[in-house]
Amino acid sequence: RNVKVLEVSPVGQSKRPDEFFEIRLEYPDWDGWKPGQFVMIRPSGWDLDLIWARPFSICSADENSLTLFIQKVGRGTERITTLKPGDEVAIWGPLGNSFAMEPDTPTLLLAGGIGIAPFRGYVEHHPAPDNVSLFMAHRLPLECYPYNQLSKTVCGSCMLEEQPQDLQGIIEFMREEIKRYAEKNGLILSCGPTPFMKTVQKFANEFGARAQVSLENRMACGVGACLGCVTKDGDDHHIQVCTRGPVFWTDKVKL
Ligand code: FES
């Protein structure tokens, strides 16, 4: 179905001010959605070489609007960021599975860069945000999602962890946190680029942590038809990320 664009705005205090955007769309006529699910969108009137729709995690929604968080990485996403209020996009979703949510379990969210997108909705949906901590790892401090806006309007009472400033510090921090959550049988949820996910998986395996990763494989159809998003499960079987994921337990997927 088609929905109208309500707003497109740059976000973050980035050194690349035109890299990250929030796009608000008219809320589609969905019964609901779950954090971790995604949508495919395609602006009307795309050139033939941009004909494929693009997948985006659902960032947040209210009864009137649906918010997506977009990083400009190529011509397709660039075109999307030039949409104006009133333009129409074709949207299909909500697609895929969702993150585990256990209200009484200490839960750590690990976001790498644009991987912050599904966690805004996660915290908004969580019945006990006091049990949720969020750690964001960025290439540069304050580069990605507006830190202050996130802590004020998204996290509520959810704790925002301080970020170490260097890569080794980030890896050490993640190792210690994953170990700590494994010891208390907590839940670790993560989303970000593949190297980030591999780091989470490695430490989750090392400490026997219950952890999920949300994969960002390239997707063309979002519904299991094109095989563009295939990966392997823990038994080496090929699986489509769009229909079996995008969220996987770390011991059930090969990265
Ligand atoms: Fe087409 Fe997954 S995106 S099969």
Contacts of 175 (CB under 8 A, 6+ apart): 203
R_g (Cα) of the chain, nearest Å: 18
Question: Cα of 66 to ligand 1 centre, how many Å?
Answer: 23
Complex prediction ipTM: 0.98
Report the pLDDT averaged over residues 136-143: 56
Q: Which domains does the chain have, with CATH numbers?
A: 2-95 (2.40.30.10), 107-214 (3.40.50.80)
Across the chain, the runs of DSSP E, i.e. the strands, are 2-10, 20-26, 38-43, 54-61, 65-71, 88-95, 107-112, 132-137, 159-160, 187-191, 210-214, 230-233, 238-240, 247-249, 253-254
Query: Which atom of ligand 1 is least distant from the CA of 224?
Result: 4
Could you report the per-residue pLDDT of 30-77, keeping only the tens digit for each?
989 999 999 999 887 665 555 678 899 999 898 899 999 888 888 888
Q: How confident is the model at residue 103 (pLDDT cuts 50, 70, 90)?
A: very high
Distance, CA of 35 to CA of 136 (rounded, Å): 17
Question: Cα of 161 to ligand 1 centre, how many Å?
Answer: 35
Query: Which atom of ligand 1 is least distant from the CA of 225?
Result: 4
Residues with CB under 6 A from ligand 1: 219-222, 224-229, 240, 242
Identify which has the larger pLDDT, 23 or 75: 23
Question: Cα of 218 to ligand 1 centre, how many Å?
Answer: 8
| Among candidate residues 113, 193, 170, the one with its CA nearest the CA of residue 145 | 113
Distance, CA of 43 to CA of 12 (rounded, Å): 24
Could you report the per-residue pLDDT of 240-249, keeping only the tens digit for each?
898 998 999 9
Query: Which atom of ligand 1 is least distant from the CA of 218?
Result: 3
Sheet holding 230-233, edge to edge: 238-240, 230-233, 253-254
